[in-house]
């Protein structure tokens, strides 16, 4: 195998399965894991960010540092940038794929996300 592939694989594996001492890195690894595991609910389905956020934030609000005293729309608005960044990383690592679509409300441009074959494999390792 090429060293480029080894660097690529170790980069996302380290981020998703981080086991070091830094709590901040452990929480970020858990965030990736919860998102990937969400996709395992239906590996043939694609999901918009809102559905991903709803499911993942309800499963693990403490990992995402959700202020449960806020209204749901405020929570999603506050978490949107973080989720976009996490999904961007997963897409860059080729664990998920996205395709452009329109939102269900308002017709705004958004993305549909789904697991790649590699993402399914990593998801099963997490699960």
126, pLDDT greater than 50 = yes
CATH number of the domain bearing residue 98: 1.10.10.10
Name which of 1-15, 30-44, 74-88 the model is least confident about: 1-15
> What percentage of the chain has pLDDT greater than the value 90?
43
CB atoms within 10 A of CB 36: 24
The pTM for the full model equals: 0.84
Give the closest residue to 124 by CA, choosing from 49, 50, 43: 43
Count of structural domains, the chain: 1
Note the pLDDT tens digit of each residue in 87-103: 999 999 999 999 999 88
Domain extent at residue 62:
3-126
Task: Give the CA distances from residue 107 to residues 66, 75, 104, 121, in Å, rounded to whole numbers and listed in that order.
Answer: 27, 22, 6, 33
pLDDT recorded at residue 1:
47
């Amino acid at each position: 195998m090429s060293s480029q592939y080894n660097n690529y694989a170790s980069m996302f594996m380290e981020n998703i399965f981080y086991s070091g001492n830094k709590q901040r890195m452990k929480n970020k690894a858990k965030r990736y894991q919860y998102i990937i595991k969400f996709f395992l609910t239906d590996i043939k389905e694609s999901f918009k960010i809102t559905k991903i956020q709803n499911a993942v934030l309800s499963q693990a609000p403490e990992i995402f540092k959700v202020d449960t005293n806020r209204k749901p729309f405020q929570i999603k608005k506050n978490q949107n940038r973080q989720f976009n960044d996490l999904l961007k990383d997963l897409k860059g690592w080729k664990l998920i794929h996205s395709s452009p679509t329109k939102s269900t409300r308002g017709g705004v441009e958004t993305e549909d996300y789904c697991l790649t074959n590699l993402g399914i494999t990593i998801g099963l390792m997490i699960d």
